[in-house]
Structure 1
Amino acid sequence: MKNAHFPVNFLESLQNEPGFNPTNFVEAHQNIAAPTSIRLNPFKKTGVKLDERVPWCAEGYYLNERPSFTFDPLFHAGAYYVQEASSMFIDTIYRYIKQPEPVKVLDLCAAPGGKSTLLSSVLATNDLLVANEIIKTRVPILADNLTRWGTSNTIVTNNDPKDFERLPGFFDIILVDAPCSGSGMFRKDPDAMTEWSEANVNLCHQRQERILADVYPALKEDGYLIYSTCSYSHQENEDILDWLCTQFNMESIRIPINKEWVVVETQSAAKQAWGYRFYPGQVQGEGLFAACLRKKESAEDPASFKNNNNQKVDKHELELVRNYITEPENFYFFKVSDDWLAINNSHKESLSLISHRLYIKKSGVRIGKVAGRDVIPDHELALSTIINKEAVLQTELEKDQAIQYLRRDNISINTNNKGWSLMTFDGLPLGWAKLLPNRVNNYYPKELRILAAAPQTKIV
């Protein structure tokens, strides 16, 4: 990004921001390429070895160069997520405030899913993650990324922040990665420079206040709010913390950090609330602001709901689908139209409550449809961490075969097996195919297939 042309008044607006070093900042944007980083899925281990860790995230790693992730089958299997390194700081915050008892977590502005998959990595089975996206057109990519991650304790919703007042005191932790002016992404996305202005900063500040005020009732007393932006402007960062502490009497939480990270610890002007700034040229990552606060006001009684849904269960169908799940006694099985789904038993009541008060896009794991004596398995089941692999055929693919499969091309396999098969690469499932005597029917979802031409670069 040589000869970066910053917006008018942009650098001047940052002169008094905490920890801002204009020389390092300009140098980073003009002469230092944005680093490439990934976060491994702890539930889908592979033999890939990586060396340079992202210091503030347990599963985060830097890569020496940016490969074509599109043509890495492990990416499609959900073995890792490509995520900007600074944003992985949410891992440090969550691990510090983590509670021993089961928690309900809301990621309010979740698409495309980086922070949701991060939270999913550190949540226990009895914890619940609700990943919400406000913009309808962005919900599918969020659902797809969480499907790849494979966990069963997740619900994806598409609702406005104000809708969550229907769930008073429901969540123990709420993450608001707020829409912002985007100055922290200038190096990664130069087009963001054309959208920056002081007027837009002020507009974003107002939007952030509205979003936070709308979702605040859904946070329980003594619950935690994690707030983040990819902006450097104090109006969207420290000023928001002062507003939260004044408007709602929230308590600021100081997060322990290592000085070697070169993360700038700040305090807001009025309430001395703690915040954490990441600057390119000082950290190996892009721009980020993050903070954590605790709700001290008493909340309404937690949302409750009496479940009167006595869904009639076809015992024959239920027995068929249970065979596809590891430890089925730990799951609640239910139908949506003709599809069978499963979610952890501990989340049955939460699912009932949320389904009656919000719009749900995805819940738990979709297993598939029953047709006669057979189950037509769903793609979600293939990528889930709860699939009973002993109950299904598995076909291991070479790299070229895996790419053909992911393109939804015809593939040739030397096998005497017949029927539905889990197609795997490096032991990780990619999806389903049906093996027939003289051909293979490829059931990889059309909307997910690789369309681009293959490059020649290696992944690692």
Structure 2
Amino acid sequence: MSNKLPVDLVRHLQGDPQFDYNAFVSIHDNEQKTSSVRINPKKRFDLSLLDIDKNIPWCEGGFYLNKRPVFTLDPLFHAGCYYSQEASSMFLDQVVRQLKLNVAPIRALDLCSAPGGKATLLNAVLHDDSLLVANEIIKSRAAILRDNLVKWGNSNVVVSNNDPAAFSRLPGYFDLAVIDAPCSGSGMFHKDHDAIDEWSIANVKLCSERQQRIIASSIATVKTGGYVFYSTCSYSQEENEDIVDWMIDTFDLEPITVSVDSSWGIQETLSKKYNAASYRFYPHKVSGEGFFCAVLRKTGLQEGFAVKKIKVEKNNAPQSLASKWADMSGHYSFLYHDLLHIFPSVYEHDLAALQKVLYLKNAGTEIGRVVGNDLVPSHDLALSNRIHKDIPFLNLNLEDMLTYLRKESLSTTVNREELKGWIIVRYKGVDLGWIKAMTNRINNYYPKEARIANL
């Protein structure tokens, strides 16, 4: 495959004295790829159920697998016990911990968030009382992002579907903005050979211009002293170090150095103009795909957004009803799109502000639809980390659970259980969804759009 690598890209990389051309070509000729996952710290399960090889050194809770499983056939994957994420991009975990952004509550934005790898990582590593806004401009991808964060199970999350420019209406609001910018994708050549045919110098230029537009239109949302984590899956300097220099030139930002263990194989680089520290991941040096990132801090004075001035509308949601189904400590309930949701009380004004300036796909945890004095529980509640632990449940074996995930009728063995009303189905101690036990049958309430195919 080496003769397929873009000549212009390789020629440019060879200008770097640290670049090992032969090793780079050799790894792209090698069809062996790594598989890695990141564990959800709030959903406890037996790690021996995963074929773990070793830890990912720059990410707590990140693991390499001996071989890539069929995730679709693993109920633990559908329950949000872990996320299948490329190892290099898990470096964000290391950055958050070194900057101590996890020791106290902060407001964080993942600007280009779908499908949700970095958003679920932030939702795991940040302080439990932080607020995370995960945004995606493309509607269909925003739906996937929502689903992945629902699986993760936390209520301190807002999913938005907006152009990045919308965040300029929230000046100085966020302590951290993660900008994993759309790019030309050369870092994925080892994993996805088809990406090679789509690469061109012209596309690199277009991506660089798009990256600048995204940053310029949204950077005001970062507060003074706040941080920007900028990343791509590109090897091109025009999308990486040059963008970092442009950000420093234009927006009162200073580069931040992150400590990197030499054994990790991460290549530390410096930008041309400002010698800004940046970090490159090459598949011949690390067990992972191509990746670039840099960290900057906002030093210029940024006017802040007055959250407390936002009027909170009268709340007619039945608070006592929510408490029958979910742990409401530090939370309140509200109606959103005619569905009952729960959200951290400390961010009630924040949510009102976000609703005024953004289109929200989801906020907090949807727990169900109010019907009279009762609730029809939602699938989101079944996956929530705040669901009451005393709700009746039924343990299923793997065969019956896969039947459930296909949204098929459960076996007669299951049907003979002494069940009544709404029941959580559980696998290996982890909740996956609802069934409703009637007099003569059991109804499967797994969402139709999420059901798995007959593999």
| 2:141 matched residue in structure 1 | 138
Candidates 79, 82, 87, aligned match of 1:80:
82
Q: How many residues align?
A: 448
> 2:311·2:349 contact (CA, 8 Å) conserved in 1?
no
- State TM-score, norm by structure 1: 0.95
> 1:393·1:420 contact (CA, 8 Å) conserved in 2?
yes
> 1:126·1:347 contact (CA, 8 Å) conserved in 2?
no
1:127-206 equivalence runs, <5 A: 127-206=130-209
Structure 1 residue 304 displacement after superposition: 2.6
> 1:25·1:281 contact (CA, 8 Å) conserved in 2?
yes
> 1:110·1:133 contact (CA, 8 Å) conserved in 2?
yes
CA distance in 1, matches of 2:94, 2:17: 21
Structure 1 residue 345 displacement after superposition: 1.0
CA distance in 2, matches of 1:331, 1:249: 37
| 2:304 matched residue in structure 1 | 301
Match of 2:220, SS? helix
| Residue 340 (structure 2) pairs with residue 366 (structure 1) | no
- Aligned amino acid, residue 141 of structure 1: I
CA distance in 1, matches of 2:309, 2:188: 45
> 2:341·2:365 contact (CA, 8 Å) conserved in 1?
yes
| 2:230 matched residue in structure 1 | 227
| Residue 344 (structure 2) pairs with residue 344 (structure 1) | yes
| 2:283 matched residue in structure 1 | 280
> 1:421·1:435 contact (CA, 8 Å) conserved in 2?
yes
Candidates 87, 90, 93, aligned match of 1:91:
93
CA distance in 2, matches of 1:19, 1:428: 47
| Residue 381 (structure 2) pairs with residue 381 (structure 1) | yes
| 1:45 matched residue in structure 2 | 44
Identity across the alignment (%): 46
**Cα distance, 1:329–1:307 mapped onto 2, change above 3 Å:** farther
> More deviation in 299-308 or 216-225?
299-308
CA distance in 2, matches of 1:18, 1:335: 59
> 2:315·2:334 contact (CA, 8 Å) conserved in 1?
no
> More deviation in 157-166 or 23-32?
23-32
Match of 1:52, SS? strand
CA distance in 2, matches of 1:26, 1:351: 49
> 2:39·2:83 contact (CA, 8 Å) conserved in 1?
yes
> 2:319·2:332 contact (CA, 8 Å) conserved in 1?
no
| 2:321 matched residue in structure 1 | 320
Match of 1:450, SS? coil
| 1:435 matched residue in structure 2 | 437
Measured against aligned partners, the alpha-carbon deviations of 1:302-348 in whole angstroms (never above 9, x if no partner) come to 3435343442425xx4312211112x141021012431100111111
| 1:397 matched residue in structure 2 | 396
Of the two structures, which has the highest relative contact order with CA contacts closer than 8 Å and spacing of 6 or more?
1
| 1:268 matched residue in structure 2 | 271
**Cα distance, 1:147–1:377 mapped onto 2, change above 3 Å:** same
CA distance in 1, matches of 2:78, 2:17: 40
> More deviation in 29-38 or 147-156?
29-38
- Aligned amino acid, residue 333 of structure 1: S
- Aligned amino acid, residue 142 of structure 2: V
| 1:457 matched residue in structure 2 | none
Structure 1 residue 6 displacement after superposition: 1.4
| 2:240 matched residue in structure 1 | 237
**Cα distance, 1:274–1:385 mapped onto 2, change above 3 Å:** same
Note the residue ranges of structure 1 that are not aligned, 5 or more in a row: 455-460
Measured against aligned partners, the alpha-carbon deviations of 1:118-138 in whole angstroms (never above 9, x if no partner) come to 000012222000000011221
CA distance in 2, matches of 1:292, 1:3: 32
Give the root-mean-square deviation of aligned CA atoms: 1.4
Match of 2:4, SS? coil
> 1:325·1:387 contact (CA, 8 Å) conserved in 2?
yes
Structure 1 residue 439 displacement after superposition: 1.7
CA distance in 1, matches of 2:374, 2:308: 35
